Amino acid sequence: MRHIKALLLALLIPALSSGQEKAYLPGEKINFVINYGIIQGGAVSLELQTDTFRGRNVWHSTLLGRTTGMVDAVFKVKDIYESFMEPSTGLPVFSIRNIREGRYTKYNEVIFDHYSRPDSSVLTSDLSGVHVTEKGIHDILSCFYFMRNNYLPGYEKMKKGDVITINTWFADEYYPIIMRYMGTEEIKTKIGRLKCLKFNPVTEVGRLFKTQDDVTFWFTADRNYLPVRIRFNIFVGAFVAEIVDYEGLKYPLEIRGKDTNQ
């Protein structure tokens, strides 16, 4: 289950160019629904706001995922992830993981220090103490924003099969993610038809996945690089998280047409 969360919540990294034009601004919010076949079982929201942390101006991202409908009546889930990021670098300074899944709960806070050591970052976790990790490491939300600014612009130069390797700190451990570019594809969504960049994160074969390509992400192929769909193929079937509405985008979303049959 940890691998699904890591991929669903988030996505990618290593160190930012401070002059990079950002694909997003505070005020952006995206809402998704999660479907298992014809059954709608969950909702996810992802938003970015301005905030402060220990007197510093930061950008604060919050991801809330919860069960809905019949699924919520059977097994209630409410997971919240928060990331407080430096606006200039995109690096996290503080993150929160607050998990409630049935009777299972877990809460943890992590402070990121990227500057005390010249060759590494120092993380302080409430649950596991101090860790010295790779320089410029991200949390699972900050890496997602970093990817949109630094890996997806100029995607025209990427070839099918090219790989992006990302280093994150997730679930209180070092968690590298590998994303394989699969080209462009036009997809139908609730908000219309969108040209998208398609990626397959390399998944761990075993309890949940049959192959290394059982998870797929779609990002819009415009200047927003907005995540609009995530599909998981697992042993018991497939479920899809898909965008249903949005607000506060930096650029107009390039919708190719509304499908009235959706």
**What are the residue ranges in the chain where pLDDT is below 50?**
1-19, 206, 209, 260-262
User: pLDDT tens-digit profile of 107-139?
Assistant: 999 999 999 999 999 999 999 999 999 999 999
Residue 234 has a pLDDT of 59
CATH classification of 2-247, choosing from 2.40.10, 2.40.360, 2.40.128, 1.10.490? Answer: 2.40.360
Residue 41 has a pLDDT of 87
What b/e string do you get for 142-160 counting C-beta neighbours within 10 Å, with b at 16 or more? bbbbbbbbbbbeeeeebee
Environment class of residue 251 by beta-carbon count within 10 Å: exposed (0-12), middle (13-18) or buried (19+)?
middle
Residue 175 has a pLDDT of 87
Residue 236 has a pLDDT of 53
Q: Are residues 222 and 251 in contact, defined by beta-carbon separation less than 8 angstroms?
A: yes
Residue 8 has a pLDDT of 45
Continuous segment of H or E residues that includes residue 5: helix 2-9
Say if strands 138-139 and 163-170 run parallel, antiparallel, or are unpaired: parallel
Residue 48 has a pLDDT of 98
Continuous segment of H or E residues that includes residue 107: strand 104-113
Other beta carbons within 10 Å of 56: 12
Residue 209 has a pLDDT of 46
Residue-range domain boundaries for the chain: 2-247
Residue 105 has a pLDDT of 97
Residue 142 has a pLDDT of 93
| Rounded Cα gap, residues 154 and 96, in angstroms | 32
Q: For 257, left (φ over 0), alpha (ψ -120 to 50), or beta?
A: left
Kindly report the pTM of this predicted structure: 0.86
| Residues linked to residue 23 through DSSP beta bridges, in sequence order | none
